[in-house]
Structure 1
Amino acid sequence: MAHNQLNALYSDLVRAFDARPSDLQTCGSLLSKLKIGLMEAGLLLPQGEPNLQDLVIARDILEIGAFWSIRTRDVPSFDRYFSQLQTFYTDFSSTLPPSKREYPIRGLNLIRLLTQNRIADFHSTLESLPLPAEAVSENPYLSHPINLERWLMEGSYSKVWNAREEAPVEEYKFFVDYLMSTIRNEIASCEEAAYESLPLDDAKTLLFFTSQSDLLTFAQNRGWQVNLTEKTITFSRKTEEQTEIPKDKLIARSLAYARELEQIV
C-alpha cells in the first residue's frame, strides 16, 4: 500500500471515529485495510529506526482500534490491539511523544483482567506500569480499576455499581457492566441458598437492577417463579440427592473388625 493511500485511509478513520456518534461500521472496514497497510510498511511491529511521524500514525490507528473494539463489544479484538500497542508504549516510549489515549487504554486492560478473574495478572500488570506508585494512584484512568479490584475483594458490590457513573471514559462502563453481571449471578446463588422467596422490590435492590423488567428477565433466565399479583419471587431449588447409608454392611464390617482385634489380643 502506497504511503499516500495509507495517510488518506488514516484521515478517513479519524473522521469516522470522531463523528458523533462514531461510525463504527466504517471504522471497522478502514481498520482492516489499515492493519494490512501497516504490515506492508513494517509499522505494525516496527523495528529499527522508522520515521517518527509514521510511528505516531501507526500508534494512533491501533489506539482507535482498541477503543473501537470496546464500542463494538469485541473483547478478543481489544486484547489483540493492546498487545500490538505494547511495542509503542515500551520500546518507543522515549522516542514518541506521549499519547493522551495510552492510560485510558491501560486502564481498560486492567479492568479486562478483572472481568476475567485474572487477579495475579492484574497485579503484575499494575506493577509493570512505567509510573511511580504516587502517580498511579493519582491517575484517574488507573485509580478507577484499582478501586474496583479493592471493592471486589471486600465484597463492596454497591461501590462497584456506583463506580459505573464515575467512569473516566465511556468505554469503562462496558467492563463495569460485565463485572456487575458476574456479581449478580453470585448474589443470585446466595439468595437461592438463603431464601425460599423474596419480595420483588427487595430482589431488585439486592441485585442492583434499576427496572422491574430487567429483574423479570433475569428471573426467567434463572428459572425463578414470579408472582406479579403478590409481587414475590420464589427461587427454584435443586432436589437434593439423598445417599442411602448401608447401615447393615457398616455394622457387619465393624463386628468383623472387632473379632479380628480380639483374636490379635
Structure 2
Amino acid sequence: MDQFNLYLSQLQEAYNTNFKSTKFDTCLSIIDNLKDLTANYNLSNPNVDKESLLKIRSFLEIASLIFLQSNDTENFKCMYSQLQPFYFDLTHILPKSDNMNTILSMWMLHLLSDNKIGDLYMLLEKIPKDLKQDDKIAFVINLERLMMEGNLHQLLELDTQDETSSPSHMATRASTDRCGSEYYKIIASTARNKIASSIELCYRHLSLDYVSNLLKLKNRNETLDFISYYNQYKLQNDAESVPWKVVDNYVMFQNEVGAKHKIPSRELLSNSLEYLNDLEKII
C-alpha cells in the first residue's frame, strides 16, 4: 500500500470510529498529509489514471464530510471547489460517487443560507435531471422554491414524507441533517429577522410573552437577547432605525408608519411564521 492509500485508509477509519470523540485533531493531521500528497498529482493532465482520480476524490469527499460535521465552512468550501471537476467534468471517466448527492445538497444549502441564489441556480443548471430527483437534493430545491414564494408551510409535509422512506434512506438522511444543521439555523435566523421586521410594521407594541411566541423563542432571556441582537442588526443596515424597547413587559416598536404596510406585512408575517415553525421542527 502506497503512502496516499495508507493515509486515506487511516482517515476513513478515523472518520467512521473516532469523529464523535475528541479525535478531530487526528483527522486534521491526516487531511494535511493527504493535501501535501495530492499536490504531487497534476490533475490537469488528461493522462492521469483512473485509480488516482478515484482515491483523490475519495479523500476530498471524506474531508468535506468531516468539515461539515465540525461546522468548518471555510474548509468545506475549499474541499468542494476541488471536487467540482470530479462531479461535472470527469463523469465520462469516473463512476458516480455514493457521497456526491450528500455533498452537493450540503453545498446547495450553503448557497441558500448565504443568499447566493444566483450561484444556486447556476449549479442547478449543471445537475442532471435524474439527480435532481434524489431526496436530499430535491429537499433543498423545494426549500428554495418555498422560500422564494414566502410560504414554507409545505416544508413540514416534505419532512413527513421522509419519515415513510426506507430505513437505509432514513439513516442517510439523518447523517445529512446532522451535516446541514448549521445551515438550517442560519436560514431560520434569516426567517426570524423577517418576522421581526413584519411585526414592527404591523404593531406599535406587543407583550413580551407574545413576541416570544411569535418568534419561537423559549423564554424571556432568549427574547431579550434577540431584541438586543436585532437592534444591532437594524442599526447596521439603517443608521436611523428605531430600536425596540422593553417597558413593563411590553415591547415598544415605536413605528409611526405601520398602518401603511398593515395588510402586506400581516400576510408576510403569517407566511413567515409557518416557515419558521417548520424549520424549527427540522432543526
Q: What interval of TM-score do these two structures reach, taking the shorter chain for normalisation?
A: 0.7 to 0.9
Point out where structure 1 has 5 or more consecutive residues left out of the alignment: 239-265
Say which of 89, 102, 105 aligns to 2:100: 102
Read off the aligned partner of 2:29 and give its amino acid letter: S
Q: Which residue of 2 aligns with 1:35?
A: 35
Q: SS in structure 2 opposite 1:173?
A: helix
Q: Which residue of 2 aligns with 1:92?
A: 90
Say which of 136, 139, 146 aligns to 2:141: 146
Q: Which residue of 2 aligns with 1:81?
A: 79
Read off the aligned partner of 2:149 and give its amino acid letter: E
TM-score, normalised via structure 1 length: 0.74
Contact in 2 for aligned 1:199/1:233 (Cα 8 Å): yes
Deviation at 1:14, TM superposition (A): 0.9
Deviation at 1:179, TM superposition (A): 0.8
- 2:187 and 2:36 mapped to 1: Cα distance? 34
% identical equivalent positions: 28
Deviation at 1:202, TM superposition (A): 2.9
**Stretch moving more, 17-26 or 137-146:** 17-26
- 1:5 and 1:12 mapped to 2: Cα distance? 11
- 1:234 and 1:100 mapped to 2: Cα distance? 53
Is 1:197–2:205 an aligned residue pair?
Answer: yes
Deviation at 1:213, TM superposition (A): 4.3
Read off the aligned partner of 1:93 and give its amino acid letter: T
Q: Which residue of 2 aligns with 1:8?
A: 6
Q: Residues 33 and 226 (structure 1 numbering): CA distance in 2 closer, same or farther, change over 3 Å? A: farther
Query: How much is the aligned-residue C-alpha RMSD, in angstroms?
Result: 2.9
- 1:209 and 1:67 mapped to 2: Cα distance? 31
- CA deviations 1:58-113 (Å, max 9, x no partner) are 10111122222222323232222111111211232122222111011111111222
Contact in 2 for aligned 1:161/1:176 (Cα 8 Å): no
User: Which structure ranks higher in relative contact order (CA pairs < 8 Å, sequence separation ≥ 6)?
Assistant: 2
Deviation at 1:116, TM superposition (A): 2.1
Read off the aligned partner of 1:151 and give its amino acid letter: L
Contact in 2 for aligned 1:9/1:34 (Cα 8 Å): yes
Deviation at 1:38, TM superposition (A): 0.5
Q: Residues 143 and 55 (structure 1 numbering): CA distance in 2 closer, same or farther, change over 3 Å? A: same
Contact in 2 for aligned 1:70/1:174 (Cα 8 Å): no
- 2:255 and 2:26 mapped to 1: Cα distance? 49
Say which of 108, 111, 121 aligns to 2:109: 111
- 2:246 and 2:25 mapped to 1: Cα distance? 40
Q: Which structure: larger Rg?
A: 1
TM-score, normalised via structure 2 length: 0.70
Contact in 1 for aligned 2:193/2:230 (Cα 8 Å): no
- 2:92 and 2:10 mapped to 1: Cα distance? 29
Q: Which residue of 1 aligns with 2:20?
A: 21
Q: Which residue of 1 aligns with 2:185?
A: 177
Contact in 2 for aligned 1:196/1:235 (Cα 8 Å): yes
Taking the TM superposition and a 5 Å limit, the aligned residue runs for 1:119-130 are: 119-129=117-127
- 1:137 and 1:6 mapped to 2: Cα distance? 33
